[in-house]
Each structure stands twice: as C-alpha cells, then as structure tokens.
Amino acid sequence: MGTLHELHNAGQSVWLDFIRRDMLVEGELDTLVEDGIRGLTSNPTIFQKAIGGSDSYDEAIRAALEANAESSAMEIYEGLAVADIQDAADALRGVYDDSAAADGYVSLEVSPHLAADTAGTIADAHRLWGLVNRPNLMIKVPATPEGIPAIEELIAAGINVNATLMFSLEDYEAVAQAYVRGISRAEDPRRIASVASFFVSRVDNNTDAELDKIGTEAALELRGRAAVANAKLAYERYLEIFDGPSFADQTARGARPQRVLWASTSTKNPAYSDVLYVEPLVGPNTVNTMPPATIDAYLDHGKADGSALGSGMLAAHRDLEALADVGVDFAAITAKLQIDGVQAFADSFDDLLATVAEKMRALTLQG
C-alpha cells in the first residue's frame, strides 16, 4: 500500500483535483492534508458537479438571495467559489508556511470565455486575486496564444499562476519561457510560485483513437504510450530550462522553478492501469493533481519510484517518433486537444451558471 508521503519523499507533491463545500465544513480536507495532500485544484466542471450534485450550497445560496434578491447567477456562483477557495487555502496554509511557499496552493480559474482575450484574462486574474486575498492562491490561466502573454504579465506582477491546458511540447515551451520572462521582471520573485499543468490521459484517448483507425500491428502496439512519452519529454525540457545555467541568475535572486504539474491523471481506458498516469511520472520537483478515485487507487496499490520520470527518455523519444512513422499527426492531435479543452471548460462554465440559476429558482419557490 502506497502513501502520499512516499510520493512527497520521492520529490512529487500530490494536489487534490476536487473541491466541495461539505469536505471543507466537515474537516475532510484537513484529514487529507494530514494524509499528505499538499494542494488543491478546481475548475468549472468540478464546481458544477459540486453545486449541482449536492445540497451543500443551498443554505449559502438562500442567504445570498435574502441579502440581495436581484443577484445574478454569476454573482452567486462567484461568492460560493471564493468562499470555498478561501476555506481551502486556509486549510492548506500550514503546508504553505512549512514548505516556505513551495506547496499549499489552491487554484481558481479565470473565466474560460476569456481564453482568447489577453487583457481580459489579466484583469480577471487581478480581480480574483484581490477577492480571494490569500497568498497561497494560484490563478489558473489557459496556455492559449492569448494566455501566454497574460501568464508573463501576472508573474511579473507577483501573482501566482497555474498555467493550464497544455498538451504539446510547444505549449510547454511557451509557458516555461513566459514564466522565465515574467519572473525576471518581478520585483521580488521569492514568494512567487507557478506550475505548468501538462495534461496526460486525454492525449492517450485521442491518440489511441487515431491508432485504432490505422489498425496496423505497428500502430496498435503504440496504444497507451503517447501520453507518458509526451510528459517525459516535457520534463526533460523542464530540466534543461530550470536546472541549467539559463535560469541560474533568477535562482540567485531567490526565484523558484516553475514546476511541471501532471493534470488529467485519471485513467479513462479500463484496459489500462488505474495508476498509469501516476507511477511512471514520479520525479523530483513535480506535482500530480489527482481526483479522489486516482488517489484511492494509488493508496491501494501504487508505488513511488523517484527515478521513474527521468528514466526511459530514449524510449519516450522513440515512441513519439513512431507515431509519425505509422501515420499519426501528433501535433494536430495536441493542438485540437487544447481547442477542445478550452471549449469544454467554457461549456462547463455555462452549465455551472445554469445549475446555479436553477438552484436559485428552486430555493426562491421554496420560500
């Protein structure tokens, strides 16, 4: 049986990819922190399921309506989300302090509808940063072409950033360089933190579909290998940028590297191991944000090998090269994944507001 503390000892921090009010109120998050959770991430889909799938928020929605019957669904949602994020940040504040601001972060996303709006993203990030008012907040910004300059500006302004929706090595390069530029402009980089959220399981889902269409023996042998190979190459580039001489001047100023965070780590294909996107990706100075089911799977039968991520780099290169050999356009797959990811989060955000609006109507009718 593995433990989250073993992963931390191997160099990897586990963040929980989930939030719901009852886990905050009833102390479940406090227990998870004791068990080794070192951060938390949220997104519109998580909030939609939390608010729509329970009555944990009904009392707060009713109170907000009593205070202002003209409140919009957006205003109600934001009040709920900010309160949850603040409570989660407070629960993780001890981790933040004990780790000298390396861990203990809670992520909140700018509106997904701003993914193609640099100025709007920057303004929304500053607004949310002020609303939550916690030093261990991270603002999630998508790694779209318009999000990249926003990431640089926010880092330069001293705002912690979780750069998200990265699927390709090109996405990673753009985000890492934006961080380097931003941190070099920051007046005091010592308390600024950032992670580069590199998505994993979705890469296999879409690549496997293309391999199945091709159907040759060589193609089918590559199923379930692209995502881990892609992640390993991103980590290889991380080492080149942040462990090499190019970042030394910023390290001397007290800046910390922008850690790679593995996102979308639940296994979607039941034919694959339920810890496929955990065990091979354990390595120094990384983060894995896991949903509860993946944490449970790891705790049941996972193993922490701190050398796993750095090993097999040649094989990872070969696996991605082999995709082209069998006729897979991997660059097109990863580009479409980001476009689809932005749209999926925008749709989830709209569904979230619709869920809140329905709750508001139901509670108003109840009186």
* Domain annotation covers residue 205: yes
Asked if pLDDT for residue 62 goes beyond 60, the answer is: yes
Provide the pLDDT for residue 244: 84
pLDDT tens digits, residue range 245-283?
A: 989 999 999 999 999 999 999 999 999 999 999 999 999
Q: Of 49, 140, 213, 303, which is the active-site residue?
A: 140
Does residue 1 surpass a pLDDT of 60?
no
- Does residue 78 belong to any structural domain of this protein? no
Map tokens 């939550």 to a residue.
132
Helix (H) or strand (E) holding 50: helix 44-52
Spatial CB neighbours of 268, under 8 Å, sequence gap ≥ 6: 201, 202, 204, 205
Asked if the model's pLDDT at residue 301 lies above 60, the reply is yes
Structurally, the chain folds into a number of domains equal to 1
Is 87 inside a domain boundary?
Answer: no
Within-domain flag for 146: yes
Is 276 in a helix, a strand, or coil? coil
Handedness of CA 20, 24, 27, 28 (dihedral sign): positive
Q: Determine the number of helices (DSSP H) and then strands (DSSP E) in the chain.
A: 17, 8
What is the C-alpha to C-alpha distance for residues 5 and 332, in angstroms, rounded to an integer?
38
Query: Which of 240, 350, 238, 328 has the alpha carbon at shortest distance from 283?
Result: 238
Greatest Cα pair distance, the chain, in angstroms, is 65
Q: Is residue 216 part of a domain?
A: yes
Query: What whole-number distance in Å separates Cα of residue 279 and Cα of residue 293?
Result: 15
The tokens 């949850």 sit on which residue? 84
Going by C-alpha positions, the residue among 39, 346, 14, 297 that lies closest to residue 165 is 346
Cα separation, 306 vs 284, whole angstroms: 7
Backbone torsions φ then ψ of 39, nearest 5 degrees: 180, 175
| Closest by CA position to 28, among listed 42, 43, 18 | 18
Q: Quick check: is 158 in a domain?
A: yes
The domain spanning residue 289 has which CATH number?
3.20.20.70
- What would the two tokens of residue 340 be? 């689809």
Report helix, strand or coil for 137.
Answer: strand
Is-above-0.85 flag for pTM? Answer: yes
> Does the active-site annotation cover 303?
no
CB-based contacts of 91-100 (< 8 A; 24+ apart in sequence): 91/24, 91/29, 91/30, 91/33, 92/29, 92/33, 92/38, 92/39, 92/40, 92/136, 93/134, 93/136, 94/33, 95/33, 95/38, 95/39, 96/135, 96/136, 99/38
| Residue 79 is assigned to a structural domain of this protein | no
Per residue in 15-59, pLDDT (tens digit) is 999 999 999 999 999 999 999 999 999 999 999 999 988 899 999
Q: What is the pLDDT of residues 154-205, one digit of tens each?
A: 999 999 999 999 999 999 999 999 999 999 999 999 999 999 999 999 999 9
Residue 97 in any domain: the answer is no
81-112 pLDDT, tens digit per residue, is 999 999 999 999 999 999 999 999 999 999 99
Whether 230 has a pLDDT exceeding 80, the answer reads yes
Domain range holding 285?
A: 4-17+103-345
- For the cut 80, the answer to whether the pLDDT of residue 221 exceeds it is yes
- Residue 367 pLDDT exceeds 70: no
For residues 297 and 305, give the distance between their C-alpha atoms in angstroms, rounded to a whole number.
Answer: 16
